[in-house]
């Protein structure tokens, strides 16, 4: 039976009216969403969440060389990814340098720039590298560091997975973990058995009780401050050993991190040596940008 034309027209009219009001309601809903967006975490809330984390005091000894700025820049870019870090950059010189100061200011990180030169009586003698730089940073931490914080010694030419910093942040006393690219074994690592550190796997033993790399441990500020005599010795190749002994922490109390020392999240990389810029290279270009450029590169 054919449907009368009048009925069809009526149905089409009703559908058109429903569609019209549906479009109007969608438009109004869109306007309400635009004027009342979903609540977002406030900046203050985000800052509070980050401030609830304990601070990692990253100690980096450094010295003037052609690759210094490149190495520090790479490390700075890693630290930018880690919340609540205070970077202590300690230079091996009498006074802090303008170029390092400029780099640090550009990072946006919380930092302190220090300078420490070896005493005159030790100039020319063979001692451990970076001893007095690190001692200067420890002096600063002993005076200003928060007891809830953690100390980590990060050389500027190493490579770091950001996960290692979250492992470090959990330190209660002393945390230990593997370091890759170390000597002939290709790694330096604590030996962990039944969840406890029982020894150290390292190509350089030499009678060391704590045969570790500098990048392979972290220390709580609270523990460090409770040991007034804790510091680095000047003896070559025994900086880690001497410092650990000064902390008076038994081996069985060490905290194995990085999945019970089964993961490598820090590597002892070394930047390839680069040529030293010399002012003689730019002879004849005194009226250009090159003199200022070379001055920033410590050209002589």
Active centre residues (catalytic): 240
Report the alpha-carbon distance of residue 230 to residue 31 in Å, rounded: 65
Going by their DSSP bridges, the two strands 85-91 and 110-115 should be labelled as parallel
Cite the beta strand spans of the chain per DSSP E. Answer: 56-62, 85-91, 110-115, 150-153, 159-160, 174-176, 179-180, 187-193, 196-201, 217-220, 255-256, 266-267
* Strand pairing class (187-193; 196-201): antiparallel
Token representation of residue 178:
């593997």
| SS3 at position 199 | strand
Q: Which two tokens stand for residue 197?
A: 């550190």
């Amino acid at each position: 039976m054919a449907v009368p034309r009048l009925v069809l027209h009526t149905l089409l009219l009703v559908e058109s009216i429903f569609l019209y009001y549906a479009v109007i309601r969608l438009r109004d809903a869109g306007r309400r969403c635009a004027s009342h967006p979903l609540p977002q975490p406030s900046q203050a809330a985000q800052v509070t969440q980050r401030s609830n984390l304990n601070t990692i005091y990253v100690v980096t000894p450094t010295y003037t060389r052609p690759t210094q700025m490149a190495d520090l820049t790479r490390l700075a870019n890693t630290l930018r990814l880690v919340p609540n870090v205070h970077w202590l950059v300690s230079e091996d010189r009498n006074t802090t340098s303008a170029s390092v100061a400029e780099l640090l200011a550009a990072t946006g990180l919380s930092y302190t720039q220090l300078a420490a030169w070896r005493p005159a009586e030790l100039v020319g003698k063979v001692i451990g590298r970076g001893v007095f730089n690190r001692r200067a940073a420890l002096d600063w931490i002993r005076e200003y560091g928060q007891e809830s914080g953690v100390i980590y010694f990060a050389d500027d030419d190493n490579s770091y997975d950001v996960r290692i910093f979250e492992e470090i942040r959990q330190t209660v006393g002393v945390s230990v973990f593997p370091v890759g690219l170390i000597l002939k074994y290709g790694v330096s690592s604590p030996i962990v058995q039944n969840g406890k550190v029982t020894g150290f796997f390292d190509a350089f033993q030499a009678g060391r009780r704590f045969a570790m790399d500098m990048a392979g441990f972290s220390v709580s500020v609270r523990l460090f401050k409770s040991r007034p005599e804790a510091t680095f010795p000047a003896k070559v190749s025994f900086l880690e050993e001497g410092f650990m002994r000064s902390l008076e922490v038994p081996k069985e109390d060490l905290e194995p991190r990085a999945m019970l020392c089964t993961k490598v999240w820090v590597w002892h990389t070394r930047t390839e040596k680069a040529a030293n810029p010399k002012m003689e290279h730019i002879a004849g270009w005194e009226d250009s940008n090159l003199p200022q450029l070379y001055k920033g590169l410590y050209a002589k």
